[in-house]
A and B are shown apart, each in its own frame.
Chain A
Amino acid sequence: MSDLVDSTNQLEVGRGDVVSATHGPTSKKDGHLRRKAWIRRLPLLPALIYMVIVTQAPFVVTLWYSFRGWNTETPGSNKFVGFASYSAVLSDPAFRSAAVVTIEMTASAAIISMLLGSAMAILINRTFMGRGVVRTMLITPFLVMPVATALLFGTTIYDPYFGLLNWILSPFGVNHVNWVGLYSMPSVVAVLVWEWAPFMMLIVLAGLQSESLESLEAARVDGANAFKTFVWITLPHLRQYIELGLLLGSIYIVQAFGEIFILTDGGGGNGSATTNLPFYIYNKVFNAFDFSQAAAAGVIVVIATEIVATVTLRLLSGLFRATEVMS
């Protein structure tokens, strides 16, 4: 908590300096202080300019192509068509299905890996024999290359005949189930959970370890049992860590591509049960060769993402404060 006070003080000092620059009495002093403000900004500029170029330049090009009807299969189609690509995309049932799949996949993978990760964090937040080894084993899935994960789950684990999963479940009467074919969405989500649960575990563990022992002790003295202490003291304290984990995890999970590309190729169920928005755009480019519709879909996705992101960041209002508390 003292850290928070510290850092905000520090920031106030910074703000004060710049504010005084705009109230400088003489123009000479004004210029001097303005220069000072620029010197302050200088270290930020390379990174800022880099990010603006790398992220905004492609976006501008995307915007440009979204208003043209460029399909490489149709000669002479590369001309201005207004909002035609947008209406084509928005009226495409596959696009809406991809949006739903994206939400389902991201939400379920993020929430399940958070629940699993939290359980793991609570379990290893004790002293026991082999704790270091257990922690090493638990973080490993996060280190494994997602392409390797998808390839290995698709073959040696999910395979109906020789896969590990069917063998492990065979005592329970499971017999040669074609997991990826029959349960494509859960299969992909399981892989994503396997990859991201360690990440959630580490963030929740950080929260558990930062909890003040005094408040836990006070709760114990007041006669609260372990369950009550957890619900009323630990859980509220963990809230900002859980929010941070869900936010960061979702940012990556929403972009999932390799896992789908390798495991299901977007298929399953009605043929597109695991086609999320990134995979939809990929299909538009590499299978339909419709660059403009891909671009239009991209622009729509960017706008939607920005709306969701802004709302989420506002809802998780404690987050920016949280990073300061944590620091």
Chain B
Amino acid sequence: MATSLDNRIHHKRGSRQWFLGHFWTTVTWVIALFLFSPVLWMVITSFKREGSAYTDPPTLIFHPTLNEYSQVFSSGSGAGGAGAPFEHSLVVTVASVALVLLLGIPAAYALSIRPIKRWRDALFFFLATKMLPYVAAIVPIYLIAEHLGLLDNVIALIILYTGFNLPLAVWMIRSFLLEVPREVLEAARIDGAGLRTELMRVIFPMVLPGIAATALICVIFTWNEFFFAYFLTAFNAQTVPVFLSHFQSTEGEYWALLAAAATISCLPVILAGWIAQKQLVRGLSLGALK
């Protein structure tokens, strides 16, 4: 009797848990699909013809076409071809992120493994510069760029974006460097490892995933930056977000073309983010996830 009651309670509890588990899984999926739907809708719209992009209710079944994609790349379209902006964005992103790492890694080292005396103040300074409303500096930056002959030049963007991302990079890389166990460093020093060996053989391999995470976050912010790209570049250094913004003013029906352009513009960063998801999670949580 007692056992059967036990079993019954157990069984009842189990089915309740089973039900709750499925309930929450369903809720999670519904929320995820809802939040993902704008992205999905962008991709769906990009394969439509303009006519079927403007319907009420929205068209869900249609003959997909690559027509709009080929238009985005043809230089005959309103905003000029996508080729040149992609090239500019690629140059700006690679150069700026490389510069961020070049400056950021040594700085983070001096704030973590062999910290300077006033590391707190230095860290605070970096964080404080990140809080500056950079829009406030558009006039002087424009004038300085003009004075140096850097208007409509990718170099101006590289310099600025490096400045935007450096504080966060120093902060993130520092937290990854702090993860290197002190015992490992001491053991290396006792074994007579010089600074060079210590850096290249011990520290660098251990923080490489963290550096990759930092680089990815910097790539996202650099690729997507709009404000300064919009005001400091015209044709010669136009980046992808600026190119994309021109699709707004197109007259007539343009949603399918816009969706195709947007899909192409976002694709590199979305793919990178998906592939390096673990690094992204790590980076954003500033090294909290092991």
Q: Which residues of A contact B (CB under 8 A)?
A: 3, 6-7, 9-11, 14-15, 18-19, 37, 40-44, 46-48, 50-51, 54-55, 57-59, 61-62, 65, 119-120, 123-124, 126, 128-130, 134-149, 151-157, 161-162, 164, 167, 170, 194, 197, 199, 202-203, 205-207, 209-210, 241, 244, 251, 254-255, 257-258, 261-262, 277-278, 281-282, 285, 291, 294-295, 297-299, 301-302, 305-306, 309, 313, 320, 323-324, 326-327
Contacts and interface: CB of A to CB of B under 8 A. Distances in A.
Contacts of A327: 174-176, 178-179, 286-288
18 contacts: A46-B107, A48-B125, A61-B139, A62-B137, A62-B139, A123-B28, A123-B31, A128-B25, A136-B277, A139-B280, A141-B39, A145-B269, A147-B244, A148-B244, A206-B284, A241-B288, A244-B286, A285-B138
B141 A58 contact: yes
B58 A10 contact: no
B227 A258 contact: yes
Given A57-B144, A129-B25, 8 more contacts: A55-B132, A135-B277, A151-B258, A152-B41, A257-B135, A258-B241, A262-B245, A282-B135
Interface in B88-116: 103-104, 106-107, 109-116
Contacts of A144: 39, 266, 269-270
Contacts of A282: 135, 138
Given A155-B255, A262-B245, A262-B248, A11 B24 contact: no
B170 interface: yes
Contacts of B134: 255
A120 B27 CA distance: 10
B182 A151 contact: no
Given A54-B159, A152-B258, A143 B220 contact: yes
B139 A15 contact: no
B5 to A, nearest CB: 22
A58 B228 CA distance: 14
B163 A206 contact: no
Contact of B137 (A7, A58, A257): A58
Contacts of B167: 51
Given A46-B106, A139-B280, A152-B38, A51 B58 contact: no
Interface of B: 21, 24-25, 27-29, 31-33, 35-39, 41-42, 45, 53-58, 103-104, 106-107, 109-117, 119-120, 122-141, 143-144, 159-160, 162-163, 166-167, 170-171, 174-176, 178-179, 181-182, 220, 223-224, 226-227, 240-241, 244-245, 247-248, 255, 258-259, 262, 265-266, 269-270, 273-274, 277, 280-281, 284-289
